[in-house]
Amino acid sequence: MDINYAQIGKRIRIFRKRKGWTQEKLAEVANKSNTYLSLVENGKKSVSLAALTAIANALETTIDPLMLGNLKADAPMCITGIELLISGCSAAQRTQIIAIIVAIKVTWKDEEASKREERE
């Protein structure tokens, strides 16, 4: 299985920017060089498990959302990805997002039921 290091780098950048950190700040907290971090974020350097762990710890997250899309068992990480997307939202906004997701799910179930009825 190939690992998409560019995708990992993009996710690191997203997490870093959400914290309002510069590359220099993340490099300092993760105990990595700024040059190394820049290369990782731009997908020009692979990242070791040890380095990814240090970066995830510095960003106060787990490795899972940084690896999203690289593992076969992405379903639990999809939830983490959703959590990442709504992390900056207020409680009211989160409630609205959940209501939208529920409405979409109900619509899909209704469409599936209609298709089953048409086949019968």
Mean pLDDT of 105-112: 86
What is the domain extent for residue 41? 5-88
Mean pLDDT value across the chain: 85
CB 53 within 8 A of CB 64: no
pLDDT tier for residue 71 given thresholds of 50, 70 and 90: low
73 and 17 within one domain: yes
pLDDT tens digits for 38-64?
999 999 999 999 999 999 999 988 887
102 and 60 within one domain: no
CA contacts within 13 A on the Cβ side of 30? 30
* Dihedral sign from CA coordinates of 109, 112, 86, 2: positive
61 and 35 within one domain: yes
Quick one: which H or E segment has residue 63? helix 63-67
75 and 114 within one domain: no
Would you say residue 74 has pLDDT above 80? no
Q: Which residue has the higher pLDDT, 24 or 74?
A: 24
The pLDDT value given to residue 28: 96
Would you say residue 73 has pLDDT above 70? no
